[in-house]
Amino acid sequence: MNKQIQVTIWNEYRHELSNEVVKGIYPKGMHQAIADGISCDQFAIQTATLDEPEHGLTEEKLKNTDVLIWWGHMAHGDVQDEIVERVQKRVLEGMGLIVLHSGHFSKIFKKLMGTSCDLKWRESGDKERLWVVSPGHPIVQGIGEYFELEQEEMYGEHFDIPEPDELVLVSWFEGGEVFRSGCCYKRGLGKIFYFRPGHETFPTYYNENVLRVIANAVHWAAPTGDTPPRYGHFIPSLEPIKEKG
């Protein structure tokens, strides 16, 4: 068997503890629903939450994480800058990062994007149709042309992000808006995937297509294990250099 991919699912885990509706949908938290939903032999999954010491993201845990999944919303400001920098460093070293839904406004995503990451939104339970715009891309393997979520929060363009390296999904909403809902980036050696669905008052993380996209994205974002490049003063040269006079 190939080496398992070490996956850490990070969740703010506040809505589930303070809102009865959310608690009813995700009694063990969204992180546990996602962990159960993508569980397979190829993944070794751990979870981490905001209120654990160091937000559950110690140096040791991040060092042993191949792909980090991030869900946050009401408490982005409570995430310590020191931990954000720790996560950014690991992404630049090659750790994969999957940012879900309202994570578009997380400190880590904004830091890696360098833009406001702002968008339009509406909590009206719109139907969402997610179209595959990059057929054959590994993240949408097994999805078909599109899939639908009966009720979701609407996110609309313009989404203030840098041009994605690859755009794999575009959402249409019942109210008429559209949104780039599956966006791939590279920062340093790390691969980043932003995936839009996942408002806390809907059972989105039980949807088989949503889980399939997340699981596919874990495979896509996992580091390859290649030797990292060397930087800086490069001595000796690979070939002898003739003296020029």
Judged by CB under 5 A, does residue 66 bind Zn ion?
A: no
Binding region for Zn ion (CB under 5 A) out of 128-136, 194-202, 210-218, 223-231: 194-202
Binding region for Zn ion (CB under 5 A) out of 8-16, 135-143, 192-200, 234-242: 192-200
Judged by CB under 5 A, does residue 102 bind Zn ion?
A: yes
The distance from CA 66 to its chain's CA centroid, rounded to whole angstroms, is 12
Per-residue binder mask for Zn ion (CB under 5 A), 140-179, x = binder: -------------x--------------------------
Q: Quick one: 66 or 128, whose CB is closer to Zn ion?
A: 128
- Binding residues for Zn ion restricted to 209-238, rule: CB under 5 A: none
Contact 194, 109 (CB under 8 A): yes
Helix, strand, coil share (%) of the chain residues, nearest 5:
30, 30, 40
Q: Quick one: 179 or 220, whose CB is closer to Zn ion?
A: 179
Contact 45, 39 (CB under 8 A): yes
**How many angstroms separate the CA atoms of 238 and 14, rounded?**
55
Judged by CB under 5 A, does residue 104 bind Zn ion?
A: no
- Binding residues for Zn ion restricted to 120-139, rule: CB under 5 A: none
Residues 6+ apart with CB under 8 A from 133: 167, 168, 169, 170
H helices present in 64-122, as ranges = 81-93, 107-113
Q: Using CB under 5 A, list all residues that contact Zn ion.
A: 102, 153, 199
